[in-house]
Amino acid sequence: MKKLLSLTLALLMVLSLAACGGGTAEPTEEAEGTETTETTEAEEAAETSTASGDAFKIGGTGPLTGPAAIYGNAAKNGAQIAVDEINAMGGLQFELRYEDDTHDAEKAVNAYNTLKDWGMQISLSSVTSKPAEATSVLNMQDRIFGLTPSASSVATIDGKDNVYQMCFMDPNQGAASAQYIAEQSLGTKIAVIWKNDDVYSKGIHDTFLTEAADRGLEIVSDTTFADGNDTDFSAQLADAQTKGADLVFLPMYYQPASLILAQATGMGYAPKWFGVDGMDGILTMEGFDASLAEGVMLLTPFNADAEDEATQNFVATYQEKFGEIPNQFAADGYDCVYAICQALTEAGATPDMDAQALNDLLIEQFNSMTFNGLTGDDMTWTDGAVSKNPKGMVIQGGAYVGMD
């Protein structure tokens, strides 16, 4: 399968992307966590842009600063690598610009409008779910096609015929996690800790419980938290430990998960841990002791240690440019650009078309095409949701290792 994926991707680049190229520009985005301002990001985008009418203008918003910056910078960096590769191939040209939304819906709307004023023709939507729910409404109103790398909530695409996802929807993650835990017999008594004011966490939690019941998994503890009480998890952990949970499911982002892992270690509680794609990034979190995540399992569509040529080349390029191993969000951003390029190529689109004309072409293509990328092969879309298979991963020795 790995050889097949490599050959398929190579064939795709030779045939479908023969028209996706032209000079290469070194990306000037700063590595994750860098405290840049929105003005600086805009200035950098202007400097790296080809600034001509011969390129498609792609824009996206994401948390480039703040506690969720690992996600935004990874998606942006992955997308920039794809743009550079495509522009170097001598056909279609792309200009990429990201605006910082700091994982805030209101700021994401402002960032989207900045991109619209810039002339954005195609959108990478927003990186995280709550901002994407806000900007996807504008995608729909303005008829600007959107493909988000990692905003996984149902509301991001629900009722919007021109907004698509490269990542799994929250319900799919919840159901797939319960299925995987049951099929692999990973735990007999399950605890769930989730964030009740986060659409991402709640969506996964709800479908996980439904699928767990169908699979005969015993949920012995179901506890929650919200902003304002997300630093002390002693009550949730004590409940799980007292009730004998041998596996704890964490449908959340890596920031609270890092505290949960540290506090569990401090109280001598050592169950199995199972997370979701929002935990991808915990190993590069500033100040986090990566040894605390040893043995943590999660489902993700991307494995940086995969042996296929396409993944190895991407990882090597990412490390060279940004000094670290790419996570799933970087691979999703990369795949978004290549999927858009494939669709534009097959539709015969040209950069002088307006956003609405491109929107109509891209909807038609995404509803009918099959795409092979770093995060899955034979991907298809139905009502904006992607169909692809997740991979079971476990953290060992400070790296993600495949479980399948």
pLDDT band at 27 (very low <50, low <70, confident <90, very high): very low
Residue 17: the pLDDT is 40
- Residue 397: helix, strand or coil by DSSP? coil
Q: Is residue 46 pLDDT above 50, yes or no?
A: no
Q: Encode 203-227 in three state secondary structure.
A: HHHHHHHHHHHHHCCEEEEEEEECC
pLDDT digits (tens, 9 = 90+) for 223-278: 999 988 889 999 999 999 999 999 999 999 889 999 999 999 999 999 999 999 88
- pLDDT above 70 covers a percentage of the chain that reads 87
Residue 253: the pLDDT is 87
Contact 278, 70 (CB under 8 A): no
Q: Which stretches does DSSP call E strand in 240-383?
A: 247-250, 272-275, 297-300, 371-373, 376-382
Mean pLDDT over each residue of the chain, to the nearest integer: 87
- Angle value at C-alpha 134, between 103 and 95, nearest 5 degrees: 75
d(CA 399, CA 120): 37
**If 0-12 CB within 10 Å is exposed, 13-18 middle and 19+ buried, where does residue 149 land?**
buried
Angle between helices 355-366 and 328-347 (to 10 degrees): 100
d(CA 296, CA 301): 16
Domain ranges of the chain: 2-168+305-389, 171-300
Closest alpha carbon to 199 in 132, 277, 280: 132
- pLDDT above 90 covers a percentage of the chain that reads 70
pLDDT band at 53 (very low <50, low <70, confident <90, very high): low
Which position has the token pair 């028209």? 19
pTM for the whole structure: 0.76
- Residue 202: helix, strand or coil by DSSP? helix
The architecture of the domain spanning 171-300 is 3-Layer(aba) Sandwich (3.40)
| Region for residue 45 given its phi and psi (left: phi exceeds 0; alpha: psi -120 to 50; beta: otherwise) | alpha
In CATH, what class is 2-168+305-389? alpha beta
pLDDT digits (tens, 9 = 90+) for 285-298: 888 999 999 999 99
pLDDT digits (tens, 9 = 90+) for 3-17: 334 444 443 444 344
- Residue 134: helix, strand or coil by DSSP? helix
Closest alpha carbon to 251 in 184, 189, 203: 203
d(CA 105, CA 111): 10
pLDDT digits (tens, 9 = 90+) for 313-371: 999 999 999 999 999 999 999 999 999 999 999 999 999 999 999 999 999 999 999 99
Evaluate whether 2-168+305-389 and 171-300 have a shared fold. yes
